[in-house]
Amino acid sequence: MGTGSARLRFETLSETLSESGMKFVAAWAGFLGTLWLVRRAFQMLSSKATKAPTATLESNARVRSPSLKLPPTLHYEKKGHIAVVTFNRPESMNALTVEMLGAMDAAFADFDADPDLWVAILTGAGDKAFTTGMDLKEAIPSLGEGEEMGYEDHTKRPFSDVFKPIIGAVNGYCLAGGLEFLQGTDLRIAAEHATFGLSEVRWGVIPTGGSHVRLPRQIPWAIAMELLLTGQSIDAQRAYEVGLVNRVVPAEEVMTTALELAELICRNGPLAVRTAKEIAVRGLALEGPFVLEKAMGERVFASEDFKEGPRAFAEKRAPRFKGR
């Protein structure tokens, strides 16, 4: 059974299912996640999924993919064994466009395929924001029209299949989709003035980029629920206290610290590092929960509240929700 048919169009079913039906969806999503893991395990045994990088720390050989044609809003640099990917819309708080999402997919596909790149750093240009998530001028119309916004495969979320380490270097606001991308990273360095939050519920929306699945597994349940249910933000020190970030440093030291951490990882065996991450990620078995998040999210995106929230945001007034 193919992946597309296996999902059985959960996003359509979720609009009409009763409470008992949603329990069935949850159980079936869990089964699909387990089935996917078993299938991948057999694939790995007969493929080169965990083949060792051909470059070593002792070798000066440089293996490079052809140069990518990326928009100016996303920078992609290769520094030795380290890749640096930068959101580059500082004038718009590095808000993401559909074009940027496609460019980031291409950059990380190149990073993942390049055997001479062992660690990536994800950051934002300027000193105001990492990224504040999707540009609402693009996101709201697209979601209202039923577009997938990058998640056609509902078992995936940002960096789901990237098993090389990714370091998040947070230099300011890390909100909405920005925090969802950060949850796909492995290590995080934050500037002292950084802010973290998921404000979607304040506008009748939910974050379906994996936050309902990843966040409660990365920080304590009560803190995750506080972020998801109140829509309020936390500062860098609080993020450090609850384990969302590894270190908090002065703004001017964010990239330096991230590079030092990347270089420290590069001193280790690249195959061992990649395998360690892959085991940890696959062991979480997030595919089923990701499908469930997408399925249940559809009832929000089909609601009157979803239309009212963004409208109120655009009109700079308090939303008048109806709960339907």
Which domains, and CATH codes, for the chain? Answer: 61-288 (3.90.226.10)
pLDDT for 29: 46
Instruction: Determine how many CB atoms are found less than 10 A away from the CB of residue 145.
Output: 7
Task: Classify residue 171 as exposed, middle or buried by CB count within 10 Å of its CB (0-12, 13-18, 19+).
Answer: buried
pLDDT for 141: 61
Mean pLDDT of the chain: 83
- Distance CA(32)–CA(164), nearest Å, equals 25
Examine the residue annotation and report whether 180 is marked as an active-site residue of this protein.
yes
Residue 147's pLDDT band (cuts 50, 70, 90): low
pLDDT for 151: 66
Catalytic residue among 19, 138, 145, 200: 200
pLDDT for 30: 47
Largest CA distance in the chain: 63
- Per DSSP, 74 falls in state E
pLDDT for 313: 85
Question: Which amino acid makes up residue 96?
Answer: L
Question: In the chain, at which residue ranges do the beta strands (DSSP E only) sit?
Answer: 74-79, 82-87, 119-124, 129-131, 166-170, 173-175, 187-191, 195-197, 233-235, 247-249
pTM for the model: 0.79
Comparing CA positions, the residue from 89, 64, 95 lying closest to residue 77 is: 64
- Distance CA(151)–CA(145), nearest Å, equals 15
Comparing CA positions, the residue from 156, 180, 182, 160 lying closest to residue 169 is: 182
Q: What are phi and psi for residue 173, nearest 5 degrees?
A: -65, 130
Examine the residue annotation and report whether 58 is marked as an active-site residue of this protein.
no
Catalytic residue among 11, 138, 180, 287: 180
pLDDT for 139: 65
Q: Which tens digits make up the pLDDT trace of 97-126?
A: 999 999 999 999 999 999 999 999 999 999
Comparing CA positions, the residue from 122, 118, 119 lying closest to residue 74 is: 122
Helices (H), 157-220: 177-183, 211-218
- Does the structure show a pLDDT above 50 at 286? yes
